[in-house]
Amino acid sequence: MRVGIKDASILEKSLVGQLQYDGRLDVTFDASAGGKTGTGEVVVNRQVVVDSDKNLAQKERIWNDMTQQMMAEFNQSANRIIDQNLEQFKAER
């Protein structure tokens, strides 16, 4: 199975008195074997706006929470895509 990361970013944008963080995770899945193929894509977007007076420790906590939430959503969506589109490529346990 090939996994491609098209985007994995969190960008900071300054607003009047606030900071806006835009997170995006875009990952593709592609597999083929024995004449069978399967593909899938998971896109996760998240946006957080906070007061600009946050110190570095507070910002890092916000980034960490945002990343944790994005990864939880990604894992849930990726499992669903794999079950729907790539079931035949899952290893038996």
Is the Cβ–Cβ distance between 38 and 88 less than 8 Å? yes
Give the helix/strand (H/E) hosting 2. strand 2-15
Greater confidence (36 vs 21) lies with 21
Average pLDDT, the chain: 93
The domains of the chain are located at 2-89
At residue 93, the pLDDT reads: 56
For 51-64, the pLDDT digits (tens) are 999 999 999 999 99
What is this structure's pTM?
0.85
Check pLDDT > 80 for residue 30. Answer: yes
